Amino acid sequence: MKASERKVLTRIKKIINKSKSFFLAGHEKPDGDTIGAALAFGHFLARMRKKKVDIYSRHPLPKNLEFLSRILPGIKVASFTDKNYDTAIILECSNFGRMGNIIKPSQVKNIINIDHHTINNPFGTLNYINPRASSSCELVYQCLKFLGARINQDIAMALYTGLVTDTGKFQQENTTAECLRIVAELIDGGLDTARISQKIFQQQSLGSLHLLGNVLKTLQLHYHGQVATLELPERFYQITGAAEENTEGIINYGLLIPTVELVLFFRDTERQNIVKVSLRSRTKFDVSQLVKPYDGGGHRHAAGCSVAGTIAEVKQKFLQEIAGYFRRKKC
Ligand SMILES: [Mn+2]
């Protein structure tokens, strides 16, 4: 651990020791890493340190992660709270409001910001940020170890969920040695990783598989097979009865084709004429640059943004932009 990291963790420890009440939240539309990190930290504070802890989420847990909701103190799904807290721990948020504006900064005395994405303007009183970490759960594990926590089965289950989902089952580039060392420790501690993986990954409904089938039929290749596009028009939801949360992971199918360097997934949203664009890249493209003009977020190999227009219009826009990228970079 670097001296600078130790310094931040020492200050986090001080704040945690003197705080009595905590507000915890990750980003809107939570994923495995967000939920796992919040529950692991929240469980430690509530059960092992006997602090007052409220974990909030702006949106409900995805169905395949509902099994985590039995970890105490649980997650409150709400759009706001008027309570005041000593400390807010905000996970995986590029800005304070990204947790869904459930609370205002004025309602808390301290803000601890934990993230493994690059953040240009860290908003916390204390910021524990490391873009080289596999996941927020990896950072939470380091925090908990530093705080002297015993990693019980509930904390282990929550952390493993973040590690396995954020690394694409330990297949993506962000699968660090540290991440695998943590998993090894969790297994040594008795965690049944096969059972948890089954709960997370083998929970598809007929509708969600039909949705996948429909989206895969839209798969097209461009620029000599280097760019793949996928589309999800509103009507696919009606045909299949699937929901937006069932779109998770579909984009990765584009990368199964070996020539593909970049995948773009365009989908209609509940907002009229707003298309959500998700991007994944292998090595050549920095997708965080491609979403910059649209106020998007993410990192080099995974990013997203919302753009006004129809799917056809937005797709055209992006393909033109990428043509310029090919000219400049001579890919
Ligand atoms: Mn994450």
Summarize pLDDT for 109-162 with one digit per residue, the tens: 999 999 998 777 899 999 999 999 999 999 999 999 999 999 999 999 999 999
Give me ligand 1 centre to Cα 110, in Å.
22
Range scoring the smallest mean pLDDT among 119-123, 181-185, 313-317, 321-325:
119-123
What does pTM read for this prediction?
A: 0.83
Give me ligand 1 centre to Cα 331, in Å.
29
Give me ligand 1 centre to Cα 140, in Å.
11
Element (DSSP H or E) covering residue 76? strand 76-77
Give me ligand 1 centre to Cα 330, in Å.
32
Tens of pLDDT, residue by residue over 10-36, are: 999 999 999 999 999 999 999 999 999
For the chain, give the mean pLDDT: 95
Distance separating the N- and C-terminal Cα atoms of the chain: 38
Give me ligand 1 centre to Cα 89, in Å.
15
Mean pLDDT of 76-100: 96
Mean pLDDT of 100-106: 97
Given pLDDT bands bounded at 50, 70 and 90, which one contains residue 284?
A: confident
pLDDT in the model for residue 330: 53
**Rounded to an integer, what distance in angstroms lies between the CA atom of residue 277 and that of residue 264?**
7
Give me ligand 1 centre to Cα 132, in Å.
11
Residue 189, pLDDT above cutoff 90: yes
Q: What is the token pair recorded at 228?
A: 């793949």
By DSSP bridging, strand 302-308 and strand 297-299 are antiparallel
3-state secondary structure of 83: coil
Give me ligand 1 centre to Cα 239, in Å.
32
Give me ligand 1 centre to Cα 323, in Å.
30
Give me ligand 1 centre to Cα 5, in Å.
19
Mean pLDDT of 75-87: 98
